[in-house]
Chain A
Amino acid sequence: MNDSNIAIDVSKCLACGNCVDRCIMDNLRLVLPPCRQASLLDINYQGIFRLTAQGKMTEAARELRRCTPFGGFLAAWGDASASRVCSRGHNGGSLNFTGILAYLEDAVYGPAGRLPRSHKKAVVAGSDEATLQAAYSLRMGGHSVTVLSVSSCPSVEGVPASVLEKTMTMLKGMDIAFETTDAFNVEELCKNFDAVILTGTAAEGMSADEYGLVRDNLFAVISDDTQSPLQAMAGAVRTAHAARNLLEGFSVDYEADQRVARGLERFHGLFEEQEDSPEAAPVVCSGDGFTEEEVKAEASRCLGCGRPIERNMTCWYCLPCEIVCPTQALHVRIPYLIR
């Protein structure tokens, strides 16, 4: 599949979006694979599966961690909304998302990358998955983050104790402070911290706007019983984005339309060569979980539906897109008029 100015080897593309981010002519957009489009935590499954299929388990786990530190939770819960829309669904059956994530789970815990510099302090009150998600999202902005839980440590339903423990160790390793208290005063918190996010039961009875803003520097992740844990975490991501805007000097709604701002486009449909892929039935687990050979075989069923496209035809053939591609999947052709 060739555009006029960029050629993408769809068998290699991880759909990571590096090329789109670095293009200095705003020429490229990333067409999301359906799984990432449906994933509530914006997980780049295509990249993870492609790397897994090549046996690059460390890189696959790193790609998962780049999207979320909660890979262990996903492995326990599965990601039903993402796997439901897998293009393999019409061609042998969706990939076994849960099985592959479970295989990678051990390798997913690791240190955070380089964080921006910030003097701002934020506190997240609560003790569930949304609490942890909000704390992590804020920390990624470089801000110092304290998690304040009433009476007990955070607990997450449906996640094995060992996974929670490893996740907590990782978050603590990122310098997120965890404190427990008997009670707290919201007004006090608002005075002592630059931003306050209330989650779970701490947010009960609050009313917030569409960005989660209650007032001034107080935010709340409003959830209800009908929500899945992933939906609650997605709400925490949105609210933390707004709180980060506040801490970083933007108005709370800046780039709230994150997909347009990040150059992400909806899935348009499969390309011809993908539609012609031979049918491949899901790999069956021989034991409790996938073996290495099995997980590679299952991951290699990924059709790679996502890819960058040339949207604006403004290529200056300067090559950063090509240089930042981790798999050499992108090749800049010189525009025809110049060639």
Chain B
Amino acid sequence: MKLQAMETDFLIIGGGSAGCIAAMHALQLNPDLNVTIFEKSDIVYGGSIARGMDALNIVAIPGQTSAELYLESVRAMTAGVVDAGPSYVMAERSYALLKEMESWGVTFPKDENGQYKTLKYHVKGKFQTAMDEPELKAMLVKRALDLGTRPVNRVMALRLLMDNGRVAGAVGMNVRTGQMVVCKAKTVLVASGGVSRFTLPNSEYLYGVYDYPGNTGDGFVMALRAGAGVTGMEYTQRTMLIKDTNMPLLAICVSRGGRVLDCEGNILMEGEVTNTNVMNEAFTKGRGPVHIQLSHLPEERIREIEHMLFTTERPVNERFFAGRHIDFRKQDIELWPTEYYLCGGHGLAGIRVNERAETAVPGLYAAGDVASVAKQHLTGAFVFGEVAAEQAVKYVAEAPDTSINENDVAAVKAELDERFTARNRDIDVHDLERKVRRMVADYLVSPKNAHKFELWKYWSKTFREDIKHVAVHNGHELSKLYEVENILLCADCSAVAGDFRKESRWGESHYRSDYPQRDDANWKCHVVIKMKDGKLNAEKVRVSELNEEVSL
């Protein structure tokens, strides 16, 4: 099949929250800029928020909270492993973001005193600000398209292209036709989400995961191969959510008066999401499953919760609870641990960025769940989408033209063609994915130890061989194969980082049975992975303070 060749000033990989706001903001700053978005699905609802959200998770409202207080809070929640600059910038810009979103028509409910409704989610300060906007994503997309963004739907980016150390574009493939798309660009923003499909969920349904299942670490892989660093890959996290659907509701229920109970009826949390680790602990110690109780709340409050759950965030909740005959007035909601996943939005995993959204590669930016702004949530995706756009606009104005190395393109094409046209292969791509994710759960999540990491190495090698025997019948299956390959490399990063960090930290997210103690003297630092000659190397990088450059 022929190559599709195109050119742009600013290429954005991933049309989710971060990508779309970056496109919009770049065109506001320079209406003549050519902005292109590669979106693996369809841009209107693509990405982790899909439709709407119940809250803007981090807003430092002047007079109530501050960026300084947020910094304290996020330091506590990351056990000190967080760069101050990016988190501070995010909190500092969060109120302006809220005001901007209001100007789009997004509803932020206020109380009787005219104050924004804030909820406690962080250890310090009420940063979570209620929002009621079921069509948030579509609103944002419309604004980006109206300004002239060029969306290229159903195209999954595979590799970044380089020109003497700086980024020069990307190669992607159309997930339906399998056609390869080459885009030359002066600057690139990777905003393609975390790794949602990392281990298998309880339901064993491949796509029954908490975070958007289109996110398979594509951005981590591209950035690594281009020379950028990734960090926090040992932060293998899971959360407690609705049993089997893994849909979110904890903050929505608990911050409105819901109680979290263990199986003996002990109250673990009430009114505030203070410490999610107590739920995990109860569960692993055999006092699970834990439940959310709402039946003690007044009818009006239950209706408010139902409204949030059934309209704004995942409306399918209503169907699910009806199907299981659960009425919040009578029954509790059973919570179980979700699958493990890697994500900068909720955890620490991400491409290393500084407060300007820059990566170690000139001209390459990262934002959203794929970037390492710890626990940034939607606020971080939006703020750093805007930050990246500001930097990209400047970079385009100053940087000379790039050129694409034809040999690099030819190498990707040869591999793609080989996978697409080969016959007589017998491994089903879904089976491969299932097995990879099962082994990740077996060897790479807590309790971790050196022996497990050693055993993973065998499987990592074996799966790379298995990839050569996967049968591909259409563009969709070809894209699935690339996705599994990306999950595999992210798993390798997690293995290398997890093995390297010889201590335990962050509760269940990194517990090593062979190094069960937290060791601040040696390990209150980042573990950064870079790729050199196809090999992954881990190194310690110290945590940076405010007004200090983040080492990329």
* Contact yes or no, A248 B316, CB < 8 A: no
In this complex, how many residues of chain A approach chain B with their Cβ under 8 Å: the count is: 35
A22 interfacial contact with B, CB 8 Å: yes
How far is it, in angstroms, between the C-alpha of A254 and the C-alpha of B42 when the chains are bound? 17
B192 interfacial contact with A, CB 8 Å: no
B330 interfacial contact with A, CB 8 Å: no
* Contact yes or no, A26 B41, CB < 8 A: yes
Q: Name B153's closest neighbour in chain A (CB-CB).
A: A21
What is the CB-to-nearest-CB distance from A189 to chain B, in angstroms, rounded to a whole number? Answer: 24
Scan residues 226-255 of chain A and give those whose CB is less than 8 A from a CB of chain B: 248-251, 253-255
* Contact yes or no, B207 A316, CB < 8 A: yes
Scan residues 456-481 of chain B and give those whose CB is less than 8 A from a CB of chain A: 475-476, 479
Q: Name A258's closest neighbour in chain B (CB-CB).
A: B177
Q: Using known A-B contacts A251-B5, A260-B475, A261-B154, determine if residue A320 contacts B205 with beta carbons closer than 8 Å.
A: no
* Contact yes or no, B41 A250, CB < 8 A: no
The segment out of B44-52, B109-117, B162-170 that lies at the interface is B44-52
Contacts of A323 in B (CB 8 A): 51
* Contact yes or no, A260 B177, CB < 8 A: yes
Contacts of B544 in A (CB 8 A): none
Interface of chain B, main secondary structure: loop
* Contact yes or no, B41 A24, CB < 8 A: yes
What is the CB-to-nearest-CB distance from A324 to chain B, in angstroms, rounded to a whole number? Answer: 8
* Contact yes or no, B150 A249, CB < 8 A: yes
**Taking each of A26, A117, A251, A332, which has the highest tally of chain B beta carbons within 10 Å of its own beta carbon?**
A26
* Contact yes or no, A254 B176, CB < 8 A: no
Contacts of A250 in B (CB 8 A): 4, 6
B7 interfacial contact with A, CB 8 Å: yes
Contacts of A332 in B (CB 8 A): 316, 319
How far is it, in angstroms, between the C-alpha of A316 and the C-alpha of B208 when the chains are bound? 7
Q: Name B319's closest neighbour in chain A (CB-CB).
A: A334
Scan residues 129-157 of chain B and give those whose CB is less than 8 A from a CB of chain A: 145-148, 150, 154
* Contact yes or no, B315 A319, CB < 8 A: yes
A173 interfacial contact with B, CB 8 Å: no
Contacts of A253 in B (CB 8 A): 2, 4
How far is it, in angstroms, between the C-alpha of A312 and the C-alpha of B205 when the chains are bound? 13
B314 interfacial contact with A, CB 8 Å: yes
Partner of B145, one of A22, A116, A339: A116
* Contact yes or no, B174 A255, CB < 8 A: yes
Binary interface encoding of chain B residues 16-53 relative to chain A, with 1 for a CB under 8 A from any of its CBs, else 0:
00000000000000000010100001101111001100
How far is it, in angstroms, between the C-alpha of A21 and the C-alpha of B43 when the chains are bound? 10
A interface residues, Cβ below 8 angstroms from B = 21-26, 116-117, 248-251, 253-255, 257, 260-261, 263, 311-312, 314-320, 323, 332, 334-335, 337-339
Q: Can you list 30 pairs linking A and B with CB atoms under 8 Å apart? A: A21-B42, A22-B44, A23-B42, A24-B42, A24-B47, A24-B212, A25-B41, A25-B214, A26-B154, A26-B175, A26-B476, A26-B479, A117-B148, A249-B6, A250-B6, A251-B6, A253-B4, A254-B179, A255-B177, A260-B176, A260-B177, A261-B177, A263-B176, A318-B50, A318-B51, A318-B316, A319-B315, A334-B245, A334-B316, A334-B320
